[in-house]
Amino acid sequence: LNIALLAGDGIGPEVIDQAVKVSNAIAKKFNHEIEWTSALTGAAAIDAVGEPYPDSTHEVCMAADAVLFGAIGHPRFDNDPTAKVRPEQGLLKMRKKLGLFANVRPTFTFPSLIDNSPLKRERIEGTDLIILRELTGGIYFGERGRSEDGNTAFDTCTYTKEEVQRLAKLGFEMAMQRTKKLCCVDKANVLETSRLWRQTVQAMEKDYPEVTVSYEFVDAVAMRPVQWPSSYDVLITENLFGDILTDEASVISGSMGLMPSSSIGVHTSLFEPIHGSYPQAAGKDIANPLATVLSAAMMFEDAFGLKEEAAAIRDVVNKSLAEGIVTEDLAGKNKAYKTSEVGDWLA
Amino acid sequence: LNIALLAGDGIGPEVIDQAVKVSNAIAKKFNHEIEWTSALTGAAAIDAVGEPYPDSTHEVCMAADAVLFGAIGHPRFDNDPTAKVRPEQGLLKMRKKLGLFANVRPTFTFPSLIDNSPLKRERIEGTDLIILRELTGGIYFGERGRSEDGNTAFDTCTYTKEEVQRLAKLGFEMAMQRTKKLCCVDKANVLETSRLWRQTVQAMEKDYPEVTVSYEFVDAVAMRPVQWPSSYDVLITENLFGDILTDEASVISGSMGLMPSSSIGVHTSLFEPIHGSYPQAAGKDIANPLATVLSAAMMFEDAFGLKEEAAAIRDVVNKSLAEGIVTEDLAGKNKAYKTSEVGDWLA
Ligand SMILES: CC(C)[C@H](C(=O)O)[C@@H](O)C(=O)O
Ligand SMILES: CC(C)[C@H](C(=O)O)[C@@H](O)C(=O)O
C-alpha cells in the first residue's frame, strides 16, 4: 500500500502520527506492507520552498494509491486574505491537480457521545447522512477580479453538465447502497448553474429507478440538519453550498474531532479529518487524533477495498471511547490522555 | 400612515388580515389614521395580470411610507425552476426597484417557547442576534447564462464598494445601539468579492472606534449559531450567504412562525414574516399570524418611529403566548385557536 503522507500545519503532524501508528499496526496484523512517503504542504511548504503545494508534493501524490492528509492553515495568514501566497491556495491547487472532484462527508452520532451535541438527543438519534460536495468546480475556480480602480469585484460560478453528472453518479450509487434517498441541494429559483444541476440530475433519474430524488433549496436545507437530521440520507451539492452545509452538519454529532472525510479523485483519493489545523493546540500533544484515525479507516475501505481492516480500526476507536482512553476534549471530569497516548493505545 | 399591503400567496392573505386588525386597533388607541392600499404580487399577480410584480403594484409601494408583505410562492412553480414567469422573480424585482438593500433579521428566543427549540436550553438562552443581509446585489443580480449547447452554465457575483459601505454602515450603527460587536461574514480566503467586503469594512472601523469587529468565514459561521448563538450580536453579510445563514438562524428559537423581518430601502421599507407561503395550510384559518403581527410592530417602530405603539403590539403578543391564545403549531395538547381568532383576540 503506497500512501502519500501530507501532515500539513498546526496539529496536522501530531494527529497524522497516530493514524500512521494505527495503520502500521493494522498492516502488521493483516499482513500488508505500507510504504509511506511524506511530502510538504500548507504553511510548512511555504516556509520551506515558497509555495503551499509544490510540484514535488504533487508528484508524490500522483505516484501514491492514496493520500492521508492532516490539516493546513496558519494564523499569520488569517488576517491578510490578500497575501500573495496563502496555504489555502495549496489546498485548492491540490484538489484541482489531483482531480479530487467529490468530497464525501459522512455525519453520524457516537452513542456514547450523543449528549455532547448542542441538539437534543431525540432530534439526532440515528442520524446517518452523507453530504457529497463537488470539489473542483463552481465559484472556487471561476474567473474573478477587480475593476481598475479596485472598487468593483466579481467572482464567477461555472458548471458543466459533465461535472454535475460525475458527482451525481456517485450520489446515485451511494444512495443505492443505502436507503435509496437522494437530495439535490441547489438554488434553482435564482441561479442558472443550479438550474443546470437540477436538469442534469433530473435526466439521470431514469437510470436509477429505485432511487427517490428530492430537490431542495439550499436555504431550506440549511434549516433541516438542525431540525431533523435523521430525515436525510445522501445529499449532493455544488462546491460553495457544500462548504457551508458540511460544516454546519458537522455540529450535529457534537463530536467534530471525530469526523473523517474522503475526497474521491481522478488520479488518487485523499483522506482527512474535517477539523482544521487548530494552531492554539499545536505541539502540545493534546489534539484529538480520532478523526484522522477514522480517516485512515475510510482509506483502508474505500481506497484499498480492505473492509475488515477498516472495521478493526473503527472497533478499536469505539473501544477507546467506551473505556475513556480519550483526549481532553472528550474527557470531561475524567483523566485526559495525550494525543500520543491515545495513538499508542489504539495501535 | 400610508401603508401598502401586499398579501401575496398561500397563507399570506390570512396572516396579513390579522396584522391589519391589530394595526387598526393600535391606530385607534393612539389616534393615528392608517390608509391601507392593497396591491397584487406573487402567483396571485401572475394569475391576474401575467407578472409577479406589476408596475401598478410598484406604484403603490413607491407612494407608501411602508410596505407590509405576506408571503409569495405557489407549488405549481416549484418543480419547474425554468418556467418563464415565476413568483420569486417578482420578489427580486421588487427588492431591486424599491432599493431594499438591507434585510434585517433578528433572532431571539421567547422564554415561554424555549423548549420548542431543537437546541438545548442552555445553549440558546439569551440569544439576541441580528443578521443584516445585503439584498440587492451579489450573485442574485449578476449576469448569468448558458453556452449555446446548454451544457455549461454560469452566474456572476458582483459587488461595489458603495454597496458594501451602505450595508456595513447600518451594521456599525446597529452595533453601536447594542453591544458594540460586529461580525463580518465572508469567504475572503477564496472570493474576490469577499476580499472587497473585508477591505471595505476594515477601512470603516476607524469611524466607529467603539465597535469591535471580527471577520469570520461563512463555513465557520455556519457552525456557531448551532453551537453558541448567544456569542453573536450583529452580523453583516452578502446576499447569498445571508439567505442561508438567516434561515439557519431562524431554527434557533424553535419559533419560526414568530420571527419578523424588515427590509430597509432607498424608497421605502418593507416588513414581512420570515416564513413562506405554506400552501398546505392556505385557506384553512390555521396559520400562525404572530410573525406578521410582529412585523407590523417593527413597522411602527422603524418606519414611523412609533415605539410605544410597537411595544404595545409586542406586549399583547407575549400575553397571547402566556395565556395560550395560539394556533395549532404552538398549542401542544391545549386548545388550538384559529388564525382569525388569534387576530381578534390580539386586536
Ligand atoms: C480553506 C478553504 C479554502 C476550504 C474550502 O472552502 O474549501 C475549507 O473551508 C474546506 O472546506 O476544506
Ligand atoms: C424566494 C427566494 C428568491 C428568496 C431569496 O433567496 O432571497 C427567499 O429565499 C428569501 O430569502 O427571501
- The per-residue DSSP string of B165-234 comes to HHHHHHHHHHHHHTTSEEEEEE-TTT-HHHHHHHHHHHHHGGG-TT-EEEEEEHHHHTTHHHH-GGG--E
Cβ of B219 under 8 Å from any chain A Cβ?
yes
Q: What is the second-level CATH architecture of the domain B110-255?
A: 3-Layer(aba) Sandwich (3.40)
Strand-by-strand arrangement of the B100-108 sheet: B35-38, B2-8, B66-71, B269-273, B260-265, B100-108, B128-134, B234-237, B181-186, B212-217
Write out pLDDT tens, residues B133-168: 999 999 999 999 999 999 999 999 999 999 999 999
For A120, which of B79, B118, B215 is closest by C-beta distance? Answer: B118
Grid cell, residue B151, equals 451544457
Question: How far from A225 is each of A43, A243, A319, B196, CA to CA, in Å?
Answer: 33, 14, 28, 31
User: Binding site for Mg(2+), residues of A?
Assistant: 219, 243, 247
Contact at 8 Å (CB) between A136 and A95? yes
Buried b / exposed e over B245-279, threshold 16 CB at 10 Å, is: bbbbbbbbbbbbbbbbbbbbbeebbbbbbbbbbbb
Q: How many CB atoms lie within 10 A of CB B320?
A: 20
How far is it, in rounded angstroms, from Cα B259 to Cα B345?
Answer: 20
Distance A243 CA to ligand 1 centre (A): 7
Mean pLDDT of chain A: 95
Contacts 24+ apart (CB under 8 A), A106-109: A106/A130, A106/A259, A106/A260, A106/A261, A107/A131, A107/A225, A107/A229, A107/A249, A107/A250, A107/A252, A107/A253, A107/A259, A108/A253, A109/A252, A109/A253, A109/A254, A109/A255
Domain boundaries, chain B: 1-98+268-347, 110-255
Q: How far is CA B159 from the centre of its chain?
A: 21
Q: Is B219 a catalytic residue?
A: yes
Active-site annotation holds for A208? no
Rounded Cα–Cα distance for residues A335 and A324 (Å): 8
Asked if B250's CB is within 8 angstroms of A223's CB, the reply is yes
How confident is the prediction along chain B (347 residues), in pLDDT tens digits per residue? 999 999 999 999 999 999 999 999 999 999 999 999 999 999 999 999 999 999 999 999 999 999 999 999 888 876 665 677 888 889 999 999 999 999 999 999 888 888 889 999 999 998 999 999 999 999 999 999 999 999 999 999 999 999 999 999 999 999 999 999 999 999 998 999 999 999 999 999 999 999 999 999 999 999 988 888 888 899 999 999 999 999 999 999 887 789 999 999 999 999 999 999 999 999 999 999 999 999 999 999 999 999 999 999 999 999 999 999 999 999 989 999 999 999 999 99
Cβ-contact A239, A137 below 8 angstroms: yes
Asked if B172 and B208 count as a contact pair (C-beta separation under 8 A), the reply is: yes
B196, B134 in Cβ contact below 8 A? no
Provide CB contacts within 8 A for B315, sequence distance 6+.
none
- Going by C-alpha positions, the residue among B153, B161, B159, B105 that lies closest to residue B136 is B159
Tell me the CATH architecture of domain B1-98+268-347: 3-Layer(aba) Sandwich (3.40)
Burial B66-92 (b: 16+ CB within 10 A, else e): bbbbbbbbbeebbeebeeeebbbbbbb
Q: Residue B157: in which H helix or E strand, if any?
A: strand B152-160
**Cα B285 to middle of ligand 2, angstroms:** 25
B191:A248 CB<8 A: no
- Residue A187 forms contact with B (CB below 8 Å): yes
- Contact indicator for A298, A260 with CB cutoff of 8 Å: yes
Residue nearest to atom 6 of ligand 2 (CA): B243
A65 is catalytic: no
User: Under CATH, which architecture does the A107-143+155-257 domain have?
Assistant: 3-Layer(aba) Sandwich (3.40)
Q: What is the pLDDT of residues B279-336, one digit of tens each?
A: 999 999 999 999 999 999 999 999 999 999 999 999 999 999 999 999 999 998 999 9
> CB-side exposure of B241: number of CA atoms within 13 Å?
29
Mean per-residue pLDDT over chain B, rounded: 95
Please choose, from the candidates B139, B178, B179, B175, the residue with its C-alpha nearest in 3D space to the C-alpha of residue B159.
B139
Atom of ligand 2 nearest to the CA of A189: 3
Question: Cα angle vertex A330, ends A328, A331, to 5°?
Answer: 60
